Structure 1
């Protein structure tokens, strides 16, 4: 069942995507438990994701690619958030 508000989300996936390939990027945040997109962020830098995390205090798990920006954002919150590698990038890296 979809949560009434995405501020209650506890497990998320985050990845970058191109508004315009090679020029402008954003980040997409997914509710990891049901696969629904819950937010789009302008940019893929540490600061934009850190700000998003600050407004979502219940997040305890972040599935992400190997981006150091996303990892830095998680670390900068000072919270105990578990980071896991997403399945797509693990499989892609093996090839």
Structure 2
């Protein structure tokens, strides 16, 4: 993989970003903030935001919103759940 590529795979190169990604993927329903993620992974809020955006190509909260949308779309395709229940299940 080229070093200039961006995305969640590129984020795995950095231990702080990788840990933040793991938290968002493991607990998408949690009311994450950049500050909360940074505290969990042991880095400053600004440090995490900068590293995350540089490697992943999106700010952390934008990435989380897109991840939640992907989860919701999948649930809506594969289940008979209502939009409201799916939204709640993925953190909206």
TM-score w.r.t. the length of structure 1 is: 0.29
TM-score w.r.t. the length of structure 2 is: 0.30
Higher fraction of helix? 2
Higher fraction of strand? 1
Which of structures 1 and 2 has the larger relative contact order (alpha carbons within 8 angstroms, sep 6+)?
A: 2
- Structure showing greater radius of gyration is 2
